[in-house]
Structure formats: structure tokens, C-alpha cells
Amino acid sequence: MDKIFRVNMSNLTCQVEEVPEAWAGLGGRGLTSTIVAAEVPPTCHPLGPNNKLVFAPGLLSGTAAANSGRMSCGAKSPLTGTIKESNAGGTSAQQFARMGIKALIIEGQPQEDKWYNLHLTKDGATLQEEKELLGKGNFEVVDAVEARFNKKTGLITIGPAGEMKMEMANISVKDPDSKMRSHGRGGMGAVMGSKRIKFISIDDKDAPGVTVADPEKFKTAARTFAKALLDHPVSGEGLPTYGTNVLVNIINEAGGLPTRNFKEGQYKEHDKISGETMQETIAKRGGKFKHGCHAGCIIQCSQVYVDKDGKYLSSGFEYETIWGLGADCCISDLDAMAEIDNIMDDIGVDSIETAVAMGVAMEAGVLPFGDAAGIKRLLREEVAKGTPLGRIIGNGTASVGKAYGLTRIPVVKNQAIPAYDPRSIKGIGITYATSTMGADHTAGYCIATNILGVGGQVDPLKKDGQVELSRNLQIATAAVDSTGMCIFVAFPALDIPECLPALIDMINARFGISLTGDDVTDLGKSILKLERKFNTEAGFNSSHDRLPEFFNTEPVPPHNVVWDFSDEEIDEFWNF
């Protein structure tokens, strides 16, 4: 039977608890948000003893279902002040699930100025004081932990940014190659830092594994599901070949590629940073495209990006990172960006928040646009060392904008707006505005239907249908985020009729239940409403569901359009 692991950092105790009945049918985001909403006072300081950090694998994690290895991490976000769920690949979700850990809850705060590591086995958690690895980067932590235990030990860790409680600090999860996957957004690393846990090591020896109630039914559904993933042109072809970076040319063509801190919608050097160029470069140099962030991934949108001598530079080199450093900071050198990506993985910062913050720092004159070496220096010498400038940047985009008195600060609820301009791709603007977690493209990926023609076609330049589209996608995403599935299963789910039923069948076969499609939709709705209730109690209201003022007044080329939704139109989102 699955258990709840509860670690109290105030009195340094670890307990194994039964799963409350109300939580039994939940996983991933559904579970982390439920636990946070139930146990965290919405008005608490996110870095204080009353916040809790919750990890939960998805409902299908640990099974043979393709792409089900995402781990959810939840807390009250120090960046946004809202409830937050952030999910990541890596090995930990499958380990947790096989070890019977339904959720890990870390609460309280040490009284003394000491740091700890947390070790998990199937039987429980243990805390030890940690001294050796304080201040170290994530890659050094991986090496040291593998040396202390063994190569197969799972790892969840924070870099120096998390230790310093920077609001753009992520939590890193070891992937099958001993590289890093990230709970990127919302500053979850700062929450882990506030609990004074440097890392969590996971030994899944003798894990009982996941029991599937109806193995035959599961196998059939899993096969149908996997076929749908492989058959869809986006998840079966575009993503495996070019990675998420397939989008640079597409979004540039659409005029929605935010450039020079959101001044323009097209980047003249887009070719140099495109997925096509990246794929060619990787192929020529003998790196790897088609690479998974977790075992069982069959989309394989990751890659191993190597330098011209074939030496590892980065993996999980995402479109949003490349857009942010590339178009938004006007850098056209993929190698330099890969190196920066690797530094970000090492010090443990969200690559979107960091890149957008750098774009704002460039507008502020802290460094010139296009200065890749400057970004490396800022990350290594300022952020990683916690200098004053490093702390300004380390607290993210809004922090930089405020420090330098700017007004063009692309954030919603204090979180950086990612790689799609909401003026020229209006659907995603509704998602940024209304998401329960600040600007977040993954919360309701309207790009699918606005640009990629997935799930139908809604004109990106028109307002018609966008609120409904974002609403439907946010509801679906909240449910998908609860399964342990990667968000990209949404592409076939939207277009291939057998896909979604197969996903539901897998859940039913796994637990011996009989959810319907409506049940799944209801789950998504209830998660969103639960999250919004938390936010409301934390002080948020509809006036926070707005984009920054400059999007209303500053037209973006080439379409020269502004963000033109009225407050009333945006607020329609919550009518469900």
C-alpha cells in the first residue's frame, strides 16, 4: 500500500503515514495542490516554517505507460505568492511510485543554522546533517551522491541559488544520464532551501513496484496510447527530430517570437538558433537528438548537445530557453547558449525566468543585448556567488525590472512571460493572465490550436474563441498533470480519437476503477478551482489576472498589434 512520507524540519522527525482516503485517487498536481491547499495557510510567508514542499509522482508513474515519469512538486511559490505545481522528468517519479511513496511532504524549518540531506528508502526517510556539499553546484552533488551510494541512486537537489533562497531557484532531478531535469518555475528551489535540505537521495532497493489491477486491459490501452504518440506529427516526428526547438522558426514566422525584451515579434537571426540548425549541428558533431528525460519516454524531445569537439554541453535544451537567451536577449550563438544552459542547470535556476530577467537587465543597461559572455559572467560570478547583483537577478525578471525602475517588465503575478508574445498569439495571453501560477505557457498551451493546428484552428490574431480554448486546455492540463504524463501527450490527445480513451483506460486498469472522460474533465476543473481558492485566500483577485500594462499600449511588429482583451472578457475564463 502506498504511504505518505512526512518530514518535519522543525523537530527533525520523519514519519510514514497512511494515505488519507480523500487523497487516494489523486496523483501529481492533483495531489500536491490538494495537500498544499489543505495544509498550508494561504497567507503564510513562502520561505517560513508554515509553507510545505510536496513531491508526488503521477497516477501512472511507475507503470509501463509511455511518458508517465513526471514528478510533481508543489508549495506556495515565493516568486508568485500563489499555489504552485511544477513537474519534471528524471528518475525520481518512477522511483517514488515503485517504492510506494504516494507523496513526500516536507514541513517546518530547522531552529538551528544547520543543513541536512534526506535519504529515502522504501521503509522511510532519514535526515542527516549535510556539510560537505553546501554551496556546491548540482553536477558536483550528483557525483558525490553517486559516490556515497551508487550510480542508481536517485537524486533531487538544489544548487547554490536554492540555498540562497533565490526566487528563480529550481529543484533539479537526476535523469537517466545523471544530468539534470528541473522543477523549473516558481522558485521551488528556494522553498527547499528554506527547509535547509540540500538534497534528497533515493534508494529504491527492494521497491515493491506498482501493482496494476487489470494487467491485460492495461497492456492493450498502453499499446494504443503509445501508437497515438508515435503517429501524431508533432509528438511522433517534430519533437523527436528537432526537440521543442522546432518552434523557433514556426513562432518567428507567426510574428510571436518575443525579441529584445518583447520589443519585436521576429528575430532576424532566427535561422541560427532554430531547431533545424540545432539538429544539423548535433548530427554533424555526433551528439544525440531523440533522447528522453525519463525511462519510458517515446517522444524523446530531449537531445545531447555537444561542442565542435564532441564534448557534452547540455541536454534538455528547450525552445523556451533558446528563445529567451536567443531572441529575447539577441544572442545567435547556439554553443554559447548551450553552455549557459549547462551553467543554469548547475547553479539551479529556472532557464525561462533567468533568460527573461537577463533581457530586462539588458534593457536596463546592466549588459548589452547579445552579450553571451556577460550572461555567463553574471551567472557564475554574481548569481552563483550571491552578490547584490546576483541576488537582484536571482529573484527573477520582476526583481530586475524593479531594481532598475523599468516599466517594460514581462511578468504576470511576478513570473516571467515565456516564449510566445500574447499580443500576436492571443490565446496564450489568456493562459498567462488566468493561470493559477502566474505566466506559464504549459498551463494551457494555446499555441497548439493558435499556431500548430492541433485540436482545430483558432486565429492567433483574433480574440474569438481564445478564452474558451484556454479554459478547455487549462482544465485538460490540470488533469494530465495529475497522471505523471508529459504535457506533450496533449497533441495526440487533441487530434487522435483513440488516445484520450486509452489514457483513461490505463488509469482505470491501474487502479481497478471506471473513470469516464467527464470524470477526468471534472478532476481538471476541481484542481483549478482548488488552486484558485488558495490564491483568493492568499489575496489574489481578478485584477491580478492581467498582463503588464505595456502590452496594452505598445504594438508589437510585424503585426503591430496590442493586447486588447477587456477585463470582462478575461474574467469570463472562470465561468465554469
Packing angle of the helix pair 138-148, 334-347 (nearest 10 deg): 50
- Bridge partners (DSSP) of residue 314 are 305
Q: In this complex, which beta carbon is closest to a second copy, that of residue 47 or of residue 373?
A: 47
**402 lies in the binding site for a second copy (CB under 8 A):** yes
Report the C-alpha gap between 348 and 160 in whole angstroms: 7
Q: In this complex, which beta carbon is closest to a second copy, that of residue 78 or of residue 137?
A: 78
Smallest CA-to-CA distance from 462 within 361, 563, 344 is with: 563
Q: In this complex, which beta carbon is closest to a second copy, that of residue 39 or of residue 177?
A: 39
**388 lies in the binding site for a second copy (CB under 8 A):** yes
Only one of the segments 90-98, 283-291, 430-438, 544-552 lies at the binding site for a second copy (rule: CB under 8 A); that segment is 544-552
Helix (H, G, I), strand (E, B) or coil at 214: coil
Instruction: Figure out which of the listed residues 121, 178, 387, 526 binds a second copy, where binding follows CB under 8 A.
Output: 387
What is the phi/psi pair of residue 112, to 5°? -90, 160
Q: In this complex, which beta carbon is closest to a second copy, that of residue 298 or of residue 406?
A: 406
**391 lies in the binding site for a second copy (CB under 8 A):** yes
Q: What string marks each residue from 291 to 310 as x (binds a second copy by CB under 8 A) or -?
A: --------------------
Q: What string of DSSP letters covers 333-354?
A: -HHHHHHHHHHHHHHTB-HHHH
Q: In this complex, which beta carbon is closest to a second copy, that of residue 310 or of residue 388?
A: 388
Q: In this complex, which beta carbon is closest to a second copy, that of residue 265 or of residue 401?
A: 401
Looking only at residues 177 through 236 of this chain, which bind a second copy when binding is defined by CB under 8 A?
190, 193-194
How many residues belong to the site for a second copy (CB under 8 A)? 36
**Identity of the amino acid at 478:** A
Report the C-alpha gap between 170 and 157 in whole angstroms: 9
Instruction: Figure out which of the listed residues 405, 566, 568, 575 binds a second copy, where binding follows CB under 8 A.
Output: 405
Q: Are 141 and 165 in contact (CB under 8 A)?
A: no
Instruction: Figure out which of the listed residues 77, 92, 395, 435 binds a second copy, where binding follows CB under 8 A.
Output: 395
Q: In this complex, which beta carbon is closest to a second copy, that of residue 190 or of residue 437?
A: 190
Looking only at residues 483 through 542 of this chain, which bind a second copy when binding is defined by CB under 8 A?
537-539, 541
Instruction: Figure out which of the listed residues 11, 151, 407, 568 binds a second copy, where binding follows CB under 8 A.
Output: 407
Q: What string of DSSP letters covers 215-283?
A: HHHHHHHHHHHHHHHHHSHIIIIIHHHH-GGGHHHHHHHTT---BTTTTBS--TTHHHHSHHHHHHHHH
Q: In this complex, which beta carbon is closest to a second copy, that of residue 29 or of residue 391?
A: 391
Shortest distance (Å) from residue 193 CB to a second copy:
7
Q: Are 482 and 523 in contact (CB under 8 A)?
A: yes
Instruction: Figure out which of the listed residues 399, 442, 470, 474 binds a second copy, where binding follows CB under 8 A.
Output: 399
Instruction: Figure out which of the listed residues 217, 376, 380, 544 binds a second copy, where binding follows CB under 8 A.
Output: 544
Q: In this complex, which beta carbon is closest to a second copy, that of residue 299 or of residue 530?
A: 530
Only one of the segments 28-36, 160-168, 269-277, 514-522 lies at the binding site for a second copy (rule: CB under 8 A); that segment is 160-168
Only one of the segments 241-249, 276-284, 318-326, 385-393 lies at the binding site for a second copy (rule: CB under 8 A); that segment is 385-393
Q: In this complex, which beta carbon is closest to a second copy, that of residue 53 or of residue 164?
A: 164
Only one of the segments 12-20, 323-331, 395-403, 448-456 lies at the binding site for a second copy (rule: CB under 8 A); that segment is 395-403
Q: What string of DSSP letters covers 143-209?
A: HHHHHHS-TT-EEEE--HHHHTT-TTB-EEEE-TTS-EEEE-TT-HHHHHHHTTEEEEEE--TT---
Q: Are 53 and 106 in contact (CB under 8 A)?
A: yes
Only one of the segments 19-27, 136-144, 331-339, 405-413 lies at the binding site for a second copy (rule: CB under 8 A); that segment is 405-413
Looking only at residues 257 through 286 of this chain, which bind a second copy when binding is defined by CB under 8 A?
none
Shortest distance (Å) from residue 9 CB to a second copy:
14
Residue owning grid cell 539551479: 348
Instruction: Figure out which of the listed residues 166, 338, 486, 561 binds a second copy, where binding follows CB under 8 A.
Output: 166
Shortest distance (Å) from residue 574 CB to a second copy:
16
* Centroid of chain to Cα 518: 26
Q: Tell how many helices (H) and how many strands (E) occur in the chain.
A: 25, 17
Shortest distance (Å) from residue 327 CB to a second copy:
24
Report the C-alpha gap between 576 and 566 in whole angstroms: 19
Smallest CA-to-CA distance from 278 within 306, 251, 297, 298 is with: 306
- How many CB atoms within 10 Å of residue 514? 10
Only one of the segments 52-60, 83-91, 392-400, 476-484 lies at the binding site for a second copy (rule: CB under 8 A); that segment is 392-400
Shortest distance (Å) from residue 258 CB to a second copy:
19
Report the C-alpha gap between 480 and 134 in whole angstroms: 36
**167 lies in the binding site for a second copy (CB under 8 A):** yes
Over 383-422, what HEC string results? Answer: HCCCCHHHHHHHCCHHHHHHHCCCCCCCEECCEECCCCCC
Half-sphere exposure of 522 (CA within 13 A, CB side): 5
Q: In this complex, which beta carbon is closest to a second copy, that of residue 165 or of residue 185?
A: 165
**562 lies in the binding site for a second copy (CB under 8 A):** no
What is the grid cell recorded at 349?
A: 535556476
Looking only at residues 36 through 65 of this chain, which bind a second copy when binding is defined by CB under 8 A?
43-45, 47-48, 50
Q: How big, in percent rounded to 5, are the helix, strand and coil portions of the chain? A: 45, 15, 40
Region of 484 (left: φ > 0; alpha: ψ -120 to 50; beta: rest) is: left
Q: In this complex, which beta carbon is closest to a second copy, that of residue 15 or of residue 43?
A: 43
Q: Which residues contact a second copy (rule: CB under 8 A)?
A: 43-45, 47-48, 50, 164-167, 190, 193-194, 387-389, 391-392, 395, 399, 402-407, 537-539, 541, 543-544, 546, 548-550
